[in-house]
Amino acid sequence: MFINRRAELGLLEGRLRKGKAEFIVVYGRRRVGKTALLLEFLRRNGGIYLLARETSEAENLRRFSQRLAEHFNDEFLSKNPFQSWDAFFEYLTQKSGERLVVVIDEFPYLVKANPALPSILQEYWDLKLSRSQIFLVICGSSVSMMEKLLGYKSPVYGRRTAQLKVNPLGFFEARSFLPKYPLEEFVRAYGILGGTPAYLLEFDDSRDIEENLKAYFRPDSFLYGDARFVLMEELEEPRNYFAVMEAIARGKTTLGEITNETGLERGTVAKYLSVLIDLGFVRRELPVTASRKSRKGRYYIADPYFAFWFRYVHPNVDLIETGQGDFLVELVMENLSEYLGWVFENIAKDFLIKLNRAGKLPFRFTKIGRWWGKGGKIDLVALNERERKALLVEVKWKDLSEREARGILRDLERKSQLVGLDDWEKNYRLVAKSVEGKEELKNEGWLVWDLEDFEKLIKIGGN
């Protein structure tokens, strides 16, 4: 199933239309949809797809030879496969007098078998391929290895013409995977699965969340096992990394809290956090008004799938392994609304960014994030520093009465005095699951959004 990815396809097709040699690096962690993206690009535009395997160099060369022989109807190549990467790249050079699209997927497997491959590619790119009509894409799932390939010390540094990191889909883009769910139910599903296509496809939207979780919490479940597989592929000393991520999932978000929770040395925790941030598993946030040098950073698991896994699955492996997954489902459902609070904050942030792009807010903001300090916190603050305008937003994963909504907005006005934006123009907003009397509040000048407004954005193509 191929859904969305319009921006990524647009980038590739825009490069293709330029008609000059291209060397594009596509990467992102497993299951995120890189291969589906590239196959859709090839389906639309033609070309050759070469999938590397974790096997010998000779076997990969033989398989690539066969694929190219079929594409070009080359009987000689089918009987005389390439014996070296030099021969492979020389062949591509000969065939790229006209536009030739070649995608090499799982490129790190080839480098693992022959570490000299990046140097060979560099030589052929510099001397021949860069002057041809080649459209070469190399793709990989090992984020650490692919980013090393992009780094300053890599032989192909500076040769790529573009790079594309494929990330999980956002909430609004992922909605199409489970269209039968009411939006409230989809928020729950997204909070469990995140925006990774392979995970979204594991849920059946003709069944409720509880039934899907029963299938999740089984020892043979793909959703149960894949978090460990993905992390262990990227990380050395996974036990300590797991301890750090489990601490964050339990709400320990400062360096000191994580250090105390894990029992590890402070410097060791800082090193692990740095690696997890580089790989995209964890993000560090600062109060939106703070400078980059601030020490007020807090750490959050970046993807709902891993946040859910470390909060509920990893600590309860014994229940799943002993066939007590149904009991774990009961525990999760009792606590799910509390867990979804931070998920809904991130969805609300995405919603505001989309409104901002469409020019549907009182002003265009240039930065948005959480704010916290002495005396309180505000879920989202959006700023235009040049115009000195601020949008302050509270986010509640609750069904609110009109009276509750008024109380939250008045309290938000009070808390705004703590932010230090005394001479700024301020706007106060509320996002909730649902808000009774929403239109009356709007008529009084308050701006209030709920899931009904999210649904409207999806229907008008808010992706």
Which pLDDT value is given to residue 462? 45
Q: What is the pLDDT of residue 238?
A: 86
CA dihedral 65→160→174→48, nearest 10 degrees, is -20
Domain ranges of the chain: 6-165, 171-343, 361-459
Class of domain 6-165: alpha beta
Quickly state the pLDDT bin for 463 (edges 50, 70, 90): very low
Give CA–CA dist 412/146, Å, rounded: 44
Nearest-Å Rg of the Cα atoms of the chain is 25
CA-angle at 174, arms to 168 and 180, nearest 5°: 150
**349-367: pLDDT as tens digits:** 999 999 999 999 999 999 9
Section 31-39 average pLDDT: 92
Q: How many CB atoms lie within 10 A of CB 30?
A: 16
Q: Which residue shows structure tokens 């792009």?
A: 357
C-alpha to C-alpha distance for 429 and 426, rounded to whole angstroms: 10
Q: What are the two backbone dihedrals, phi and then psi, of residue 340, each rounded to the nearest 5 degrees?
A: -70, -10
pLDDT band at 44 (very low <50, low <70, confident <90, very high): very high
What is 171-343's CATH number?
Answer: 1.10.10.10
Q: What is the mean pLDDT of residues 1-9?
A: 79
Beta-carbon contacts of 326 under 8 Å, excluding residues fewer than 6 positions away, are 214, 217
3-state secondary structure of 383: strand
DSSP 332-354: HHHHHHHHHHHHHHHHHHHHHHH
Alpha helices for 252-374 (secondary structure H) = 255-262, 266-278, 304-308, 317-321, 325-357
The helix/strand/coil state of 398 is strand
| DSSP conformational letter for 74 | -
Tell me how far apart the alpha carbons of residues 159 and 164 are, in angstroms, rounded to a whole number. Answer: 14
Region of poorest pLDDT, from 8-12, 15-19, 90-94, 458-462? 458-462
Of residues 281 and 144, more confidence is placed in 281
d(CA 416, CA 341): 21
Alpha carbons 79 and 432: distance in angstroms, whole number = 65
Per DSSP, what are the bridge partners of residue 392? Answer: 381, 428
pLDDT in tens, 164-206: 999 999 999 999 999 999 999 999 999 999 999 999 999 999 9
Q: Is 284 helix (H, G, I), strand (E, B) or coil?
A: strand
The residue count for the chain = 463
Tell me if residue 152 falls in helix, strand or coil: coil
Q: Mean pLDDT of all residues in the chain? A: 93
- Kindly report the CATH number that applies to the domain delimited by 361-459: 3.40.1350.10
Q: Are 194 and 304 in contact (CB under 8 A)?
A: yes
Binning pLDDT at 50, 70 and 90, where does residue 433 land?
A: very high
Q: Is the dihedral of CA 229, 235, 239, 243 positive or negative?
A: negative
Q: What values do phi and psi take at 367, rounded to 5?
A: -150, 150
